[in-house]
Amino acid sequence: MISLGTTNKRMLQTAMIAAVLVLAALSCQFVRYITDNRYLDRLAAFLRTFLYLGMFSAWGVSVRQRVTQTQVRRYLTGVALLIVIWLIVREYRFRFVSDPDLQRYLWYAYYIPMMSIPMLALLISMSLDRPDEYRLPGWTYLVYFPTALIILGILSNDFHQLAFRFPESALFWSDHDYTHGLLYYLAVGWASLCAVLALFYMIRRSRIPGSGYQVWLPLLPFILALAHVILYTLRFPPVRLIAGDVAVFYCLIFAAFFELCMDCGLIRSNIYYEELFTSSMDPPMVITDMDYRVRYASGGAVPVPEELMRQAEAAPLILPEGLRLHNMPINAGHAVWTEDISSILKLREMLEDRREELQERNMLLQHEYEQEEQHRRIEEQNRLYDLLQKRTQTQLDRIEQLAGQYPAADDKEKKRILAYIMVLGSYVKRRKDLALSRQVSEMLPGALLSRAFAESFRALKLLGIRGGQQVDPEEAEYPAADLVLAYDFFEDVMEAVMDRAMYLNVRAGSVRGSFRVNLLTDAVFQEETELKGKYPGVRILGDDEGTQLILAAEEGGGK
């Protein structure tokens, strides 16, 4: 248990005030024994009731302010409300009711709070050490049934007399002449069981280090209540004289039980918050009223001018000492605290320097990246140019040779030279497109090869060579290497026969899952050895009427 001087003094003062009020109320009870004045006796009785009602009402308000857990606070508020209702019923019974039957039923009604409060104590003990949003499981509400049955049994006692038995010779039944029945003892047993279980659960859930005997202090009211039940049942005269008012006695017992539970820490409350706040060093904080007069200050709080506290209302304020001043409105005041951010400010300054350094480094890296990208782009362009140059160098040389022959040639020869140049140029152009497309994707549509064939055949028409082409199917995609191989094969055959051929047909496509190129020309093919050197898998079928050339991609590619 925490032991702090200011709180202990305040609790001692509260206990002394409560003791004085109880003694004053007890003194009012004995007025009837020292005077025969009826009006003075009635005034003392009203004063006694007023003292108890005020004391227990104040206790209920105090409980709502001190208990921190929501569900426990609600149950304790219910206990305080039952106590106040009990005292009101008691006062109404003795001061305003003369009918013996109604007095008896109001006496029975005492057992509503007398049975409900121990049950609520058990529910409170089950709710301890739980988060605020916690709610008791449904099965725990089974404790309501025995309580309700006992209360209904006592309220209907006139029909069965299982709780209180009255003499048959009595003119009217009252609480002055009766004996206890089985239901009464069941009620005492159930209330005692609830109280014992409640204390057991509270002590079991206690996490207070070094609490020792203090957690057993709530057992004292229970022992007093049990002794009162026994002695009152035995009609022990001193008990009847001093604690004969059952309602008031048990109200005091119940309040003392819960108050000791809070004092021992079995029920969490905020009774030590002020001392904890003033003794804490971190965060340095003060709590002020609405006019910024300091009411509470933590141990590490630093003095802050009122003007700065007001400025911090809108947004946190940075102080020169590396502190950040916060101001948060609270009920009837403000919470003002400082936060040491000197290390954060130093870190921010360091990060700013590092950011500038990284920005400069990033600019250099960006420049290097751009230079590297440009260098790689040029290298790639050179690589592609070398690749195209290597594959089309023969055609380019032939074009250059033909261009040199063009000025000295006659008109007919010039047309033939231009036609040759168109055929070779079409190949160079389309071969470049295929090479560039191959860099983008390894699979290309057949339509790309079909367009290349078509442009070459348009140039062949200038040489008087007829023919046609077909790529089947055009919409299918083929490996780019197969399309390039097919066009190179076509070009090599075309250049070999275009001086003597009258027609040339080409067909390319997939045959039984294999890409194949088939060329048919009317010219006798004479370059068989040279072509087989470049395309080992080519098949050449020829006779006096023409030649058929077949090349399967997987059987042999171009060198």
DSSP track, 259-306: HHHHHHTSS-B-TTHHHHHHH--SS-EEEE-TT--EEEE-TT-----H
Question: Which of 387, 417, 419 has the alpha carbon at shortest distance from 402?
Answer: 417
Query: What is the reported pLDDT for 272?
Result: 55
Query: What is the reported pLDDT for 542?
Result: 82
pLDDT at 505 over 90: yes
For the chain, give the mean pLDDT: 79
Share of the chain above pLDDT 90, in %: 7
Query: What is the reported pLDDT for 8?
Result: 57
Query: Any idea which of 105-109, 273-277, 284-288 has the lowest mean pLDDT?
Result: 273-277
How many C-beta atoms surround the C-beta of residue 398 within 10 A? 16
Q: How far are the Cα atoms of 105, 127, 136 from residue 72, in angstroms, in the given order? A: 31, 6, 11
For range 246-253, the mean pLDDT? 77
* Alpha-carbon radius of gyration of the chain: 54
Q: How far apart are alpha carbons 232 and 240 in whole angstroms?
A: 7
User: Is the entire prediction scored with pTM above 0.75?
Assistant: no
Q: How far apart are alpha carbons 503 and 521 in whole angstroms?
A: 6
Asked if 89 and 251 count as a contact pair (C-beta separation under 8 A), the reply is: no
Between 28 and 80, where is the model more confident? 80
Query: What is the reported pLDDT for 190?
Result: 92
Q: How far apart are alpha carbons 289 and 125 in whole angstroms?
A: 37
Query: Any idea which of 6-15, 71-80, 298-307, 469-478 has the lowest mean pLDDT?
Result: 6-15
pLDDT at 35 over 80: no
Query: Any idea which of 69-78, 198-207, 265-274, 420-429 has the lowest mean pLDDT?
Result: 265-274
3-state secondary structure (DSSP) of residue 500: coil
Q: What is the pLDDT of residues 125-184, one digit of tens each?
A: 888 777 777 778 878 778 889 999 999 999 999 899 898 888 887 777 877 778 888 998
For range 490-509, the mean pLDDT? 89
**pLDDT level of residue 507 (50, 70, 90 thresholds):** very high
DSSP structure class, residue 475: T
DSSP structure class, residue 554: G
Query: What is the reported pLDDT for 1?
Result: 37
Query: What is the reported pLDDT for 240?
Result: 59
Share of the chain above pLDDT 70, in %: 82
Between 352 and 383, where is the model more confident? 352
**pLDDT level of residue 210 (50, 70, 90 thresholds):** very low
Asked if 361 and 311 count as a contact pair (C-beta separation under 8 A), the reply is: no
166-201 burial string, b = 16+ CB within 10 Å, else e?
beeeeeebeeeebeebebbebbbebbeebbebbbeb
For range 430-450, the mean pLDDT? 86
